[in-house]
Chains A and B, each alone.
Chain A
Amino acid sequence: MARFLAWRLAQSLVVLALMSAVIYGLIGLMPGDPIDLALSADPRLTPEDIARLRALYGLDEPWFQRYLAWLGQAMQGEFGYSRLFAAPVLSALAEPLGRTLLLMGGSFLVALLVGLPAGIIAGARPQSRLDYIINFICFAGVAMPAFWLALLLILLFAVTLQWFPASAVALEPGLGPQLYHLALPVLTLGLLQTGGITRYMRAAMREALAADHIRTARAKGLGEFSVIWGHAFRNALIPVVSILALDVGGLFSGALIVEMMFGYPGMGKLLFDAVMGNDYNLALVALLFGTGVTLAANLAADSAYAAIDPRVTFGGLEDA
């Protein structure tokens, strides 16, 4: 077990290191560089000044050398300053990260509350009318563009019914108004996740219900309710947990769209603004942070899966 965890941890770190190099390279390919920004702020800079500044900050060095220098600083917890926030990158990230986690957590809860029961019902009665309807809705959910779902929900709940506000930020202080304003964003992101969760749960439920111990439970006269909830559901949950963690990347992408649509200042909107506003340091760390959180979620799910299910092998690459 310990060997398996160490192996997966090492793998995740390698992926993260590779991604940091790739992302660093990509950010370097964005238009302009810090000296161009300095030049636009002070047009009196001469070409000699610019060359001197580039040499001073090492911007004339090749890409990989600059990456290594950045990595050395990053290892010491030094990620530089954000241009847009005029603050160290990490302190600019803290609040948006908290907001995004709140949004993602809330919508994940919505998705679980709707998706798990729907998947269980569909899985317990395969090929029934209800199963068809639930499957059709899932197909529709997977094909739904995130921004369009947000537009439709705004149209229905904010414009027509006027039940909820279309902006995610409450002007009044206090928890109540804040949660009220978060209702539509959380609903949007939650519904986006529901289709996937339902389909996983349905498949896992079908498999769990086909097992021998279920037949035994039915044979000894147990009611359908306790067969499904007491025996099958708990076994079906194991594979679902590990698949759900793979969706964290998708949840992040969805959160970005939802934050843009509802003007919610979280990580996704921050990343978008950083890319658009040439805030290289912030864009780099925000993207790397998103990747790191996703990898950590996968690692946690793998470990949980291995801990719960003794059949998982703890081998090397063969376990793929």
Chain B
Amino acid sequence: MSPTARAWQRFRRHRFGLAGLMVLVLMTAACLSAGWLAAAMGQDAEAVDLFGQFGTPSAAHPLGQDELGRDVMLRLLQGGQVSLSVALAAALGAATIGTAIGLAAGYLGGWLDALLMRLVDSVIALPLLPLLIVLAAIDPAKLGLGQLAEDQGFGLARIVIIVALVGWTTPARLVRGATLAARAQGYVLAARALGAAPIMIALRHILPNVSGPLIVATTLAMGQVILFESALSFLGLGIQPPTPSWGNMLTGAQELIWQAPMLAVYPGLAIFLTVIAVNFLGDALQDALAPRASERVPL
């Protein structure tokens, strides 16, 4: 049996991992179909209808209408597109940073390893949300990026970078651990004996062999990243309205909680379901791709 088939067999035993994968696939499909669905319903997610303020669920608006009479379901799906793509991009960014640091620490070892791991420990211990708030308040003009800041996509790129800057610690740790194990293997010794440069060994021989933990780390980082992004957007420092995101849809919900309690429920439920699905998936992938010696949490 091929390693992939064996990994799939281990993965399949995880009922919660499978459920997580299904939730994520359905959620992504639903969000991607937002434009098509809006056209089919003959509606526009941006369309304001002040007569329909706080409209209750109906055939035309399955989840009701918000404080501006916009359709809540369409906005949720569009916000999902934004939140999920930002999370995916930030998780990939965090994984890239973490892989570079983990590979360097694990392969080169010595004082560099000690230094980098101390850095990881320090970043993990920091109060990250206050730091994120300061990072989000930075003026791009002072970094010489004033021109770029005019651009439409800059706001999204900015939040991706900020969140990736604090999300790389888990990937760094997992990749370092896997690199340490891979370094002791015979093929690495063979490559070294053939005179391959350290950077080549790290990228060509070790990186492919730590891909399992890397996939796990990226998945787990995605859950963390979604929570950070939503908190920043909720505080008004992340994705800026009118672009909807699950976090910023909740910004005004507290003031409206008496008139429209359900507006406070849906976007949070979407975040919660996504993060829990991602975490279950990460847990199952861990079992399938990087089995640990220690006993795992039963789920």
Contact = CB atoms under 8 A, between A and B. Distances in A.
Interface of A: 11, 15, 19, 23, 26-32, 126-127, 131-132, 135-136, 139-140, 142-148, 151-152, 154-155, 159, 199, 202, 206, 246, 248-250, 252-254, 256-257, 260-261, 268, 271-272, 275-276, 283, 286-287, 290-291, 294-295, 298, 317, 320
Nearest to A31: B139
A31 to B, nearest CB: 4
A140 B227 CA distance: 13
B223 interface: yes
A320 B127 contact: no
Interface string B128-144: 11110111011101110
Interface stretch (B1-9, B84-92, B199-207, B252-260): B252-260
B227 to A, nearest CB: 6
B129 A139 contact: no
A275 B122 CA distance: 23
Contact of B268 (A151, A248, A256, A291): A151
B198 interface: no
Contacts of B297: 135, 199, 202
Given A131-B298, A151-B257, A253 B139 contact: no
Nearest to B268: A148
B231 interface: yes
A151 B234 CA distance: 12
Given A31-B137, A275-B137, A317-B114, A143 B128 contact: no
Given A29-B143, A30-B139, A249-B124, A271 B133 contact: yes
Which of B111, B129, B230, B272 counts the most A-chain CB atoms under 10 A from its CB?
B129
Contact of B231 (A28, A146, A159): A146
Interface residues of B, number: 49
A126 B298 CA distance: 8
A139 B253 CA distance: 25
B279 A142 contact: yes
B295 interface: yes
Contacts of B268: 145, 147-148, 151-152
Contact of A295 (B118, B125, B142, B280): B125
Contacts of B230: 145, 147
A144 B139 CA distance: 31
A313 to B, nearest CB: 14
A159 B256 CA distance: 11
A148 B272 contact: yes
Q: Which 3 pairs, one residue from A and one from B, show the smallest C-beta to C-beta distance? A: A148-B268, A253-B129, A252-B127
Contact of B272 (A31, A145, A154): A145
A18 B111 CA distance: 18
Contacts of B138: 26, 29-30
A253 B126 CA distance: 9
B272 A147 contact: no
B265 interface: yes
Contact of B254 (A29, A151, A256, A272): A151
Nearest to B114: A317
B285 interface: no
Interface in B196-227: 223, 227
